[in-house]
A = this chain, B = another copy of it.
Amino acid sequence: MKTVLEKALMARKAFLNSACLQTKVKNKALLTIAEAISSNKQKILEANDIDVRNAEKAGMPRAMLARLELSSEKIEGMAGYVKSVARLEDPVGKTLSATELDKGLILYKVSTPIGVIGFIFESRPDVIPQITSLCLKSGNAVILKGGSEAANSNKILYQLIKEASEKAGVPAGWLQLVETRKDIKEMLALKEYIDLIIPRGSRSLVEYIQNNTKIPVLGHSEGICHAYVDRDAKIDSAVNVCFDAKVQYPAVCNAIETLLVDEKIADRFLPKMAVEYIKAGVELRVDDKAKKILAGFKTKKATVEDWHAEYNDLIISIKVVSGVEEAIEHINKYGSHHTDAILTESKKNARKFLQEVDSSSVMHNCSTRFADGYRYGLGAEVGISTNKFHARGPVGLEGLTTYKYVLEGNGQVVRHYIGKNARKYTHKKINKKW
């Protein structure tokens, strides 16, 4: 049995060998993986069945069981996803800029893979083909750590993907699987060998990882999103958008948790909004001013905990504010820098809100639910980041790359550019590919 360190070293070595893997090799590998998943459907279902039966015996809740359980359709979906990644543009080897420093001395900024990516996830085995295909396309090596409740499903998927990709020419060792809970701790300590951790799972998993590693983490633990209805909002449109932002899919991170309403429009907007929310079964937690306006409706009193809460459910907190300034202040104080929207016809207030709200996505007159890699046209979504570094907001394939500077010369030395009679740099942006 190999240790986590040994596996990380193998992944690292494979990464260094694969940094210049050709696009056609990567795409061939992806198609081979898709084929392997399709044609081994029965094997995957059998392995998954063992996991599901064990989980049932252990009393796993129904919602979690549903995520664990695979079907013929889900497996076709996986294969289809992997195929679609083969059609995406190769994010590696792009010349991001080229500068002539002097005649015959050209500086290129070129996109490269990041290195070794640690992917830690819970329950859903169908994320394995997703994340491994994105990492493969971007030239990265991967160490997978799934939940023990899906151990059999994870193992068969890992084996199929590993064999198919290596057969197609990807350096052996690029994909690793670690299995025990204590392996997570070891992974999180391998700062020298793992370049990025991507967690997928519960808020407590993500928080645990963020608090226990020096490796950069791509992800976010919270989505406390807001909509602010300004005095200059179109009321019907605002009701429609705020309904979508809460009700269309309340369990996701880009649904709103708090509605802020300008006092100048609250008595016209709030009753209309409340009718729609209550019809959809949304519980209203309101501040004193909103309570007065909504006297005829069933509401609960909001406390300060509500401004901090991520319900992920059919509950919304509502606060009446004095205007755009107070809305911005509230969001920067209580929000999670994820996604926040203003509804207004005032260009001035919109601009102020969009500039001053310190969130990864800010929206004007549309639903926060649009904050998503697919909807943003990023091709595929690696995750949504509330970090300010590297990648912010919905992250696509580009978020699995970094860059290096490549300087090409013909014998230039720095001392000729210093002192008396120094050569001058030209620093001319040029249109040239490396």
Contacts and interface: CB of A to CB of B under 8 A. Distances in A.
For chain A, the bracket of interface size reads 35 or more
Interface in A93-141: 99, 101, 105, 107, 114-115
Contacts of A364: 406-409
Interface stretch (A83-91, A309-317, A389-397): A389-397
A361 B99 CA distance: 14
A301 interface: no
A248 B366 CA distance: 58
A10 to B, nearest CB: 15
A40 interface: no
Contact of A377 (B19, B99, B369, B393): B99
A304 interface: no
The interface centre, meaning the residue of A249, A405, A427 with most chain B CB atoms within 10 A of its CB, is: A405
Contacts of A425: 375, 377
Interface string A22-44: 00000000000000000000000
The interface centre, meaning the residue of A16, A248, A412 with most chain B CB atoms within 10 A of its CB, is: A412
Interface stretch (A63-71, A177-185, A233-241): A233-241
A407 B370 contact: yes
Interface stretch (A267-275, A289-297, A413-421): A413-421
Nearest to A402: B388
A77 to B, nearest CB: 17
Contacts of A46: none
Given A388-B195, A393-B405, A244 B356 contact: no
Interface in A299-325: none
Contact of A367 (B352, B405, B413): B413
A20 B356 contact: yes
A153 interface: no
Contact of A16 (B115, B356, B405, B407): B356
A360 B403 CA distance: 8
A365 interface: yes
Interface of A: 16-17, 19-20, 99, 101, 105, 107, 114-115, 195-196, 216, 234, 237, 240-241, 243-245, 248-249, 328, 332, 350, 352, 354-356, 358-367, 369-371, 375-377, 388-390, 392-394, 402-415, 417-418, 425, 427
Closest 6 CB pairs of A and B: A366-B409, A244-B413, A377-B427, A369-B414, A237-B411, A389-B390
